[in-house]
Amino acid sequence: MFQDFFIGLVRIHILHHAKKEPIYGAWMMEELRQHGYKIGPGTLYPLLNSMEKRGFLDSHEEVVDSKMRRYYCTTPLGVDTLKDACAKIGVLVNEVLRDSNGGVKEGELGCLA
């Protein structure tokens, strides 16, 4: 179950970056690592393929350094889903991390308060 929570966050992260510019798997793995996610190709590529099949991402292939690379970008559905997710994240952050006066809760950014 712990992994399920993080996979949802990874999906949002993917949509965020793929909206800004086309992304590819190896780059996305490194980006996620910089944010503390330990995700390998056996998890990321099926996730990208699933998101594409469900209509959140489109992809195209390009030859880079004599190798084929698949780039992903968000679809209109992906953009709408990201907007909805961001709104829900904002509400959650305010509830979890803020006290009733709008300040930051004490202790582990409010998660253990």
Question: What tens digit of pLDDT does each residue of 21-63 get?
Answer: 999 999 999 999 999 898 999 999 999 999 999 999 999 999 9
Check: CB of residue 61 under 8 Å from CB of residue 68.
yes
Q: Which residues of 31-57 are buried (b: 16+ CB within 10 A; e: fewer)?
A: ebeeeebebeeeebeebbeebbeeebb
CATH class given for the domain over 2-104 = mainly alpha
Degrees to nearest 5, angle at CA 81 with 48 and 10: 40
Query: How would residue 90 be classed by pLDDT, with cut points 50, 70 and 90?
Result: confident
pLDDT at 110 over 50: no
pLDDT at 46: 96
pLDDT at 113: 44
